[in-house]
Chain A
């Protein structure tokens, strides 16, 4: 698989929309078209042959080395940290991208294991080695903690500067459009009606994208390679034309990854979970070949569903091949015209899509504000449907467990009280919270100690904590069985792919731990049998649910590894959140949240923050970080922010580095407007008193 990234074809790969669509081939006749396809075929064949003759074909090398080094980890752990996988990435000439990391601090542990320590179970670049039991914490709700978002307000000067910045950007953008349309009409061709066709995207609609987002385009959609684990390999790129197009330079940068949704660190190409996934590719191939309701149901699907139900402590669950689609295809199946959906104002786009498709009425309530919700509930129930005053058929309250831009947990205890009084149905989207919070990683219910069966519909995704893809819907058996017949995805969308199912099954089982095999081994588990398993929360996974061919290493089977990951994540999350607060930053969200948003406000500071973090020259010994910056329309206009996603794969030293880098960049960009100066700590103090900080309220 030759990647022409920086070869002759590289220019085309990243050219952006500015050029007219007619730029390349529009063959006038079918014959020409076929001739061009033939040429493409021949070209591909030639490349194929060249590849098979060359001594080191790209993927084979990767594969071969993976096979070689997997056992070597087990035997000589301390020696196998640096070499293998990265070196195989840099060697094949087809990739052309190179990585020089002989002395990269990111691939060696800061405190390497001694001969007394248990050997590390993973590659340090994927999952950091951290053996210090002090750096652990258990994520659970402490009574009296307020869940209502308490946002610190920045000084007025910052707000004012932010508004002025936007005004400037918009004014300059309009000026550029005004002159551009007159002097360089070629650049605006695709935004104007032409030859009887209206523009696909008018200049007005695309103004924000062209004139604001394009300025900081280099901070988005950065191409990466390898595992999105503790570190990530990023392709360096340059733009010759002010971010309209990008060229890969052929260099890779290894950066600390505080951006991927890899909460429990299961994004790994090595280890027991990946071994199981490989086995499943060999046994099952890549696809279930169709929708679930036709012939796309495999034993793996029913096993995964039984395990998910068991994991959550509910009767039944259904898995769907895409997280977004889990919401957008389930909500229309649940509610329809005459129903009311009360949705948190910061709910995800997939929920909004689903509600729009359903035809139900929607009202938004203020983010996590239970008073606002109650007021709307009282009003809607008493007033009934608009005009006719007929009572609503059903009211569905849709919330997220952990809000991905805010880092706030839903106020579930208060919500349950409201639920008893107002008899609405509750839909909790646990896309980010499942696996990531709670003493046993079972999401918000676990975190607050609420029986999950009291929530009507639990939804979640496997993309985040489990390093897989897709989503689930869980609840009562009656509900899930019905959803299997009326959910769009079950009838029409492809079923979850076998390796993805295996990844999530193995990851989930290793969080639960696996109970010793039952005396009577059961073959294929039918979904019906899940109802018979008595509810015990949190219980280990019965071995009978797992595919018989899946052999997990003892550390995963016992649940020790899963438990360590949960506690490491909780420590890292709390440490970063508390640490940044102590340094004086304005941080949103709950302290136990693995999502830590750092407020930046000013649009001009966003790209600078992102670039400085990547540049790794803010202090001696700094390492590059890839960070996510988010602005309008994902957030309100003024509260632009950086969003850090913590992971169990980070070590304390990684968080220390992040704090140091933020400290420097924060001083440079004047971002510290949080806690008053006298309460602040220096960065050294924060790092030294990390454990104390984490246990502080």
Chain B
């Protein structure tokens, strides 16, 4: 073929040289043809090919092109550059060398700002055991602790410690392997069973870090094209999970179930209009919000989820182990069977004072994660002694409902003091043991008991595709953070350890308002809590009172 296309002048010269080659090619072709014919059934193939290609050169050409394209795709390098695009600039080697010499990268990280340096320097370091009354390394003083998550007061429980020591003497510390490869220890299975029994779900799966749980569970189920309807105020871990899932996300106003319903109706309409096939749909929210301590209305949420046929992913990282008669979380508080929640996430680090997180749900849900939960599959399983600690903590919670009664009492004491203060706002739910404190901006508006976002939604509707609410609350991050840090320092000076919430400014989906976080604990007596609340009140008044 190729030679025939060439100009006739060249042809006679090349023909004698090519002749033996052509001869050889035709001979081998006929040999291949004949040997192919000798295979039984080959005539059927040939007949089929002939009949299908007859008088249809276009099809032949098309198939050859398709084949070439397929081969090109297969052999293309995976690290291919966009050389082919118009945008690629052809450069000589010396030009590249020059560009390489000229290129000056930015520094790996910017140096600490004075504020960040001050924050690091002010970090309290606890000497010895963390608990309700820890000793600070800097001063050696014992302080009342309202900064650590120790809701049910399980920290330093002697029984749990004894059992953990027993586990250490049987299993060592590390598990030395991911769950798939000999990292599944019997105590892990026991803990999963204990969690499932405790919550009343079919099964549970444990992760070795609470923070990595949500960001692993969400992408395990939500894939590209699936729909996530999420609260605007969800925690950082959930934000990251949503980000990595690459699903379609619609946001509803923070803790506003009317807004949720509107969004759900909107999505339904949208899907109908697009005639999109049925995809997986999820509502993602938190039980008690880590960012401000508000609490979701679970029965209403479940009603909505079932009406619109969404799956519910509820993060109970704060509420598990802290609310309900025995600490089972929101499901116990609202008397809702946990089986209504498709994926119930919780933290054993926060709720059980051990480590790790879990996801409880049906067996289909948990088994799916054993293969698809990235931080489950690709991470070593949790140390056995911590799993035992968590199992024992569940036992303690179940057998001593008293400790949570004390917690409720302590929360009431703290709220009783804070709610009467003019200079602050408390967005948290009255029953939440996690209490956030905002600096009140401007003249007081409404009572502090009212959940602010409900009031905030009087104006226009917010766009569901963006994180920004319709009427964002404006606040001055720098000033408020400084004021709150002053409060923290003042309280510490008076012997109460509290903490300003540390945010990753610039990395959050939307900047949360600066706040102080109080984690009320059952580990403190009523007297101590009263004393601590008094000191916090005095500190708040001292710092914020002199502002105006």
Query: Given contacts A205-B223, A220-B181, A464-B176, could you give 19 more A-B pairs where the C-beta distance is less than 8 Å?
Result: A1-B163, A25-B202, A66-B170, A223-B184, A225-B171, A225-B186, A274-B172, A287-B389, A290-B147, A294-B501, A295-B126, A325-B212, A325-B375, A382-B91, A383-B89, A421-B100, A425-B108, A493-B210, A494-B355
Contacts of B145 in A (CB 8 A): 295
Q: Which of A17, A27, A34, A324 gathers most chain B CB within 10 Å? A: A324
A417 to B125, CA, bound (A): 41
Nearest A residue to B103 by beta-carbon distance?
Answer: A381
Q: How far is the CB of B332 from chain A (nearest CB, A)?
A: 8
B385 and A66 contacting across the interface, CB-CB below 8 Å: no
**Which one of A74-82, A262-270, A597-605, A680-688 contacts B?**
A262-270
Judging by beta carbons under 8 Å apart, are A378 and B100 in contact? Answer: yes
Give the Cβ gap from A298 to chain B, nearest Cβ, in Å.
Answer: 5
Q: How far is the CA of A201 from the CA of B398 in the complex (A)?
A: 35
Q: Could you tell me if B364 and A190 are in contact, using CB atoms closer than 8 angstroms?
A: yes
**Residues from chain B with Cβ under 8 Å of A366 in the complex:** 79
A620 part of interface (Cβ distance < 8 Å): no
Q: Which residues of A contact B176 (CB under 8 A)?
A: 228, 260-262, 267, 463-464, 467
Tell yes or no: B109 within 8 A of A by CB: yes
Cα separation A652 to B180 with both chains bound (whole Å)? 28
Cross-interface CB contact of A48 among B210, B378, B399, cutoff 8 Å: B399
Tell me if B285 counts as interface (CB < 8 A to partner A).
Answer: no
Chain B contact residue count (CB 8 A cutoff): 149
**What are 6 residue pairs bridging A and B, where the CB atoms are less than 8 Å apart in the complex?**
A33-B336, A67-B169, A200-B280, A266-B174, A267-B174, A302-B125
A278 surroundings in chain B (CB, below 8 A): 165, 168-169
Contacts of A262 in B (CB 8 A): 176
Contact of B168 among A21, A44, A277, A329 (CB under 8 A): A277
Which residues of chain B from 96 to 113 have any CB-CB distance to chain A below 8 Å in the complex?
96, 99-100, 103-106, 108-112
Q: How far is the CB of B368 from chain A (nearest CB, A)?
A: 5
Cβ distance A190 to chain B, nearest Cβ, rounded Å: 5
Task: Given A228-B177, A295-B148, answer yes or no on A59-B89 (Cβ-Cβ < 8 Å).
Answer: no
B478: Cβ under 8 A from any A Cβ: no
Assembly CA distance A382 to B108 (angstroms):
20
Q: Distance (Å) between the CB of B498 and the closest chain A CB?
A: 9
Question: Could you tell me the distance in whole angstroms from the C-beta of B187 to the nearest C-beta in chain A?
Answer: 8
Option from B88, B162, B278, B383 in Cβ contact (under 8 Å) with A198: B278
Identify which of A26, A227, A285, A524 gathers the most chain B CB atoms within 10 Å of its CB: A285
A393 touches B382 (CB 8 A): no
Question: Given A224-B182, A289-B150, are A467 and B123 also a contact pair (CB < 8 Å)?
Answer: no
A174 at the B interface (CB under 8 A): no
B100 touches A322 (CB 8 A): no
Question: Does any Cβ of A come within 8 Å of B410's Cβ?
Answer: no
A391 at the interface (CB under 8 A from B): yes
A223 touches B189 (CB 8 A): yes
Q: CA–CA, A631 to B179, complex, Å?
A: 16
Instruction: Judge whether A229 is part of the interface by a CB distance below 8 angstroms.
Output: yes
- Does chain A have a CB within 8 A of B206? no
Q: Which residues of A contact B272 (CB under 8 A)?
A: none
Cβ of A200 and Cβ of B365 under 8 Å apart?
yes
A482 at the B interface (CB under 8 A): yes
Q: Does B374 contact A (CB under 8 A)?
A: yes
Is A497 located at the chain interface by the 8 A CB criterion?
A: yes
Q: Is the CB of A259 within 8 A of B182?
A: yes
Q: A357-B243, A469-B175 are in contact. Are A363 and B96 (CB under 8 A)?
A: no
Give chain B's interface residues, CB within 8 Å of chain A: 78-79, 81-82, 87-89, 91, 95-96, 99-100, 103-106, 108-112, 116-117, 119-120, 123-131, 134, 137, 145, 147-150, 155-157, 160-177, 179-187, 189-190, 193, 197-198, 200, 202, 208-212, 215, 221, 223, 226, 235-237, 240, 243-244, 278-281, 309, 311, 326, 328, 332, 335-339, 347, 349-350, 353-355, 362-365, 367-368, 370-372, 374-375, 377-380, 382-383, 385-386, 388-389, 391-392, 395, 398-399, 497, 499, 501-504, 506-507, 517, 519
User: Does A518 belong to the interface (CB within 8 Å)?
Assistant: no
Measured in the bound complex, the distance between the Cα atoms of B240 and A503 in whole Å is 31
Contact A299 B125, beta carbon cutoff 8 Å? yes
- Across the interface, A286 reaches (CB within 8 A) one of B160, B186, B200, namely B160
Which B-chain residue is minimally distant from A493 (CB atoms)?
B211
A658: Cβ under 8 A from any B Cβ: no
Instruction: Determine if A552 is an interface residue (Cβ-Cβ < 8 Å).
Output: no
Judged by a CB distance under 8 angstroms, whether A379 is at the interface is yes
CB-CB under 8 A for A63 and B385, given A259-B177, A294-B147, A295-B145: no
B185→A223 contact, CB < 8 A: yes
Asked if residues A1 and B388 are in contact (CB atoms below 8 Å), the reply is yes
Task: State which of B87, B155, B182, B336 has its C-beta within 8 Å of the C-beta of A257.
Answer: B182
Tell me if A469 and B79 are in contact (CB < 8 A): no
Are B103 and A323 neighbours in the complex by a CB distance under 8 Å?
A: no
Q: Does A60 contact B (CB under 8 A)?
A: yes
| CB pair A492 B380 closer than 8 Å | no
**Complex alpha-carbon distance, A394 and B109, angstroms:** 10
Is the pair B165, A282 in contact by a Cβ cutoff of 8 Å?
Answer: yes
Report whether B368 and A201 are in contact in the complex, using a CB–CB cutoff of 8 Å.
Answer: yes
Residues of A within 8 A of B375 (CB): 322, 324-325, 328, 350, 353
Taking CB atoms, residues of chain A closer than 8 Å to B96 are 378-379, 381-382
Are B105 and A277 closer than 8 Å at their CB atoms?
no
B residues within 8 A CB of A288?
126, 130, 148
Are the C-beta atoms of B108 and A497 separated by less than 8 Å? no
Q: Are A393 and B106 in contact, with the CB atoms below 8 A?
A: yes
Task: Give the shortest distance, in Å, between B288 (CB) and chain A (any CB).
Answer: 15
**Contact across chains for A24 and B202 when beta carbons are under 8 A apart:** yes
Does A93 reach chain B (CB closer than 8 Å)?
A: no
Q: How far is the CB of B6 from chain A (nearest CB, A)?
A: 37
Q: Which of B112, B147, B163, B168 has the most CB of A within 10 A?
A: B168
Q: Are B87 and A387 in contact, with the CB atoms below 8 A?
A: yes
- Which of the listed residues B108, B190, B226 has the most CB atoms from chain A within 10 Å of its own CB? B108
Whether the pair A484, B130 counts as a contact (CB closer than 8 A) is: no
Cross-interface CB contact of A284 among B128, B187, B374, cutoff 8 Å: B128
A34 to B281, CA, bound (A): 29
Partner of A524, one of B127, B235, B347, B504: B127
Residues A395 and B175 in contact, CB atoms below 8 Å apart: no
Question: Is A448 on the interface with B (CB-CB < 8 A)?
Answer: no
Contact B335 A221 (CB under 8 A): no
- Given the known interface contacts A1-B388, A499-B168, the answer about A41 and B326 at a Cβ–Cβ threshold of 8 Å is yes
- With both beta carbons as reference points, the residue of chain B lying nearest to A271 in the complex is identified as B172
Docked pose: A161 CA to B154 CA in angstroms: 58
Chain A contacts of B349 at CB under 8 A?
287, 494
CA of A195 to CA of B278, assembled, Å: 11
Known contacts A197-B309, A228-B176, A421-B100; A223 and B186 CB within 8 A of each other: yes
Q: Which of A616-661 contact B (CB under 8 A)?
A: 626, 628
A689 within 8 Å of B (CB atoms): no
Task: Say yes or no for A365: interface residue by CB 8 A criterion.
Answer: yes
Considering only residues 80-106 of chain A, those with a C-beta below 8 Å from chain B are 85, 89, 95
The minimal Cβ–Cβ distance linking B108 to chain A, given in whole angstroms, is: 5
Q: How far is the CA of A222 from the CA of B182 in the complex (A)?
A: 6
Residues on B with C-beta less than 8 A from A443 are: none
Supposing A30-B337, A60-B166, A324-B378 touch, asked if A298 and B171 sit within 8 A by C-beta, the answer is: no
A414 at the interface (CB under 8 A from B): no
Contact: B211 with A494, CB < 8 Å?
Answer: yes
**Which residues does chain A contribute within 8 Å of B335, judged by CB atoms?**
30-31, 33-34
B197 to A: closest C-beta gap in Å: 5
Contact B368 A25, beta carbon cutoff 8 Å: no
Which residues in A have their C-beta under 8 angstroms from that of B354?
286-287, 497
Contact B379 A324 (CB under 8 A): yes
| Known contacts A290-B147, A389-B89, A425-B108, A491 near B328 by CB under 8 Å | no
Q: Which residue of chain B has its CB nearest to the CB of A335?
A: B108
Contact partner of B353 (CB less than 8 A), chosen from A20, A289, A379, A423, is: A289
Contact A261 B177 (CB under 8 A): yes
Assess whether A626 is in contact with B182, with CB atoms less than 8 Å apart: yes
Q: Please tell me if A535 contacts chain B, counting CB pairs below 8 Å.
A: no
B367 touches A524 (CB 8 A): no
